[in-house]
Amino acid sequence: MSPRGPTGVQLAAVGKHLALVLFGFVAALLLIELGLRAAGAIVRSAGRRDGALVEAGDRVVLCVGDSHTYGAPLPREDSYPSQLQERLAQLDPDGRWRVINRGIPGMNSAQVAAALEGWILHDRPGFVVVWVGANNWWNREDPAGLHAARDRSVWRALLDGSRAYRLYLTFTAQGSFSDWDAAASEVVERSNRWLYGEPVPGKERYVNTVRDLSGIAAILAKHGLPWLLVTYPQPEYRWQRSAAELVAQQAHVGMLHTADDLARALRDHPEAELGCPWPVPEGHTCLMVDAMGPHPTRLLYGYVAESIANALVAAAPR
């Protein structure tokens, strides 16, 4: 450099070098972000509670939602997706139906909306069943920043939605994971960190549910997929039913009210108890069990599966 200071050519060279360094840094961050998102898609693709082997020509039904789809606390074969597979085989033996269970206990509607695109691309369904919203009562997770406009700045929402930023927080947190089991436990704890907090006010969870279900409707419309929107049988979730009815009307989508299935089950089984502790006492016939909140038994799930199967077969092209 000249004793009098850097020349214009030297400053231009320094600026060009800094621009290249900045470009490389941004490109590296983008590659890390894309890689983490691809890895997340692979992990999500493994999160299935079914043994369905999908082959070319199969009619794939994708069931998404929370523990009511997963079938908690029951064995896999008692869940409604497993029973739906059986019902479809009875109603339409030549239909080659395959039902995929993507239910994850504790998931709220925002989490399902965020994961739905990846599931669709992996599973290639011809029909989707959506049963979600109950956990909006307590779970405030918003992985895609769907509520950012109301709750925080857009830039903050983009930052919180970044996989690379989450990885940075993980590595800079105090302590470290000794094994993958510890890491998995940490993920579960963070996902459910709202569980013992204050419940979400009624208006907020209704607005969130409408927004998330509308987002789900937009994704399914983009892929041209027919779908069915399911509500809960418990009266305490009537706000989810109101939100679902609004979205179903706007999206022109079919609905299934499991409260109707509960009423049918009570008529057919007058001896059945509406609610029981879990595990069910010996000699009792129950329609709901209390396991981290009320959940249907195999008996009630069977009625739900029958209603969904009838709707699917009626809507399927011949």
Domain assignments of the chain as residue spans, ordered by start = 47-141+194-315
Model's pTM, two decimal places? 0.74
d(CA 59, CA 209): 29
> Which residues, in sequence order, are bridge partners of residue 254?
228
d(CA 70, CA 50): 10
Q: What is the pLDDT of residue 43?
A: 42
d(CA 237, CA 65): 15
First-to-last alpha carbon distance for the chain, in angstroms, is 80
Q: Would the pLDDT of 152 be above 90?
A: no
Q: What is the pLDDT of residue 141?
A: 85
| Listed range (37-46, 71-80, 168-177, 308-317) with the worst mean pLDDT | 168-177
pLDDT per residue as tens digits for the range 52-70? 666 667 899 999 999 999 9
- CATH T-level assignment (fold) for domain 47-141+194-315: Rossmann fold (3.40.50)
Q: Output b/e per residue, 33-52; b: 16+ Cβ within 10 A.
A: eeebeeeeeeebeeebbbeb
